[in-house]
Structure 1
């Protein structure tokens, strides 16, 4: 699992028990899942359709750094299913896990749209592929 996002727990993120409010953490996770899906599916129009059982394992306190990890579980026709873990950056103690987050790719009318993706793509791979395509086009015209 790749942990790409970090959030500092601030006073406004706390519940009456002086621990991280679960709703705030779920907001961060939903945003991270959406950003991950947008990048993977190369479409700004994605929505969260489903989140499976959320397992709060431990809590975070003021000043803790929470990191959020996302991993692809599977590619559907118009969806992307993700797995998530949030953990304490300093102790690596798991704070929360979500086994399945389903993100749906949409068309311009808000309807599910096939995305044609079957594997994880990294930005470096896309850039290398586009650079190779441009070089081939340039060579073909010379």
Structure 2
């Protein structure tokens, strides 16, 4: 599986005093989506070893639906490069806007925590 999609509802506890999604929460959701996509690809325990600069393009208001799309872009011996996009969709209308994009590198590891080849 090369792509993973997850959906979140942006709740009040996810937001700052401006009523928009905390950047740290966005980062955590994106890292989790990358983790799931990498795990599906490797069928092994994976860990995050790098996150590229996150490009925040659009605020994510409270009450929105957020869809995260994580894609495996390149595969090394034990590493995988992934891209994650965060799309925001208001509840009251059918439109989607790219809110954030970031790259991640995940590595498949064994029980000893050392890198293992991807399956």
Q: Would the TM-score normalized by the shorter structure come out above 0.5? A: yes
SS in 1 for 2:59: coil
- Offset of residue 3 of structure 1: 6.2
Aligned position for 2:105: 102
When Rg is computed on C-alpha atoms for both structures, the one with the higher figure is 1
CA distance in 1, matches of 2:73, 2:38: 12
Is 2:118 aligned against 1:115? yes
Structure 2 distance, partners of 1:107, 1:55, is: 32
What is the CA-CA distance between 1:29 and the residue it aligns to?
0.8
Structure 1 alignment gaps of length 5 or more: 117-142
What's the TM-score once normalised by structure 2's chain length?
Answer: 0.89
The unaligned stretches of length 5 or more in structure 2 are none
Superimposed CA distance per residue, residues 93-117 of structure 1 (whole angstroms, 9 cap, x where no aligned partner): 111011x21000001100111114x
Q: Hey, what's the Cα distance between the residues in 1 that align with 2:111 and 2:46?
A: 11
Distance in 2, Cα, partners of 1:32 & 1:3 = 7
Indicate the structure with greater helix content.
Answer: 1
2:55 partner SS = strand
SS in 2 for 1:86: strand
Task: Name the counterpart of 1:29.
Answer: 30
Structure 2 CA distance, aligned partners of 1:3 and 1:82?
Answer: 11
Q: Which structure: greater strand fraction?
A: 2
1:35 is paired with a residue whose SS is helix
* Number of residue equivalences: 114
Which aligned segments of 4 or more residues in structure 1 are displaced greater than 3 angstroms? Answer: none
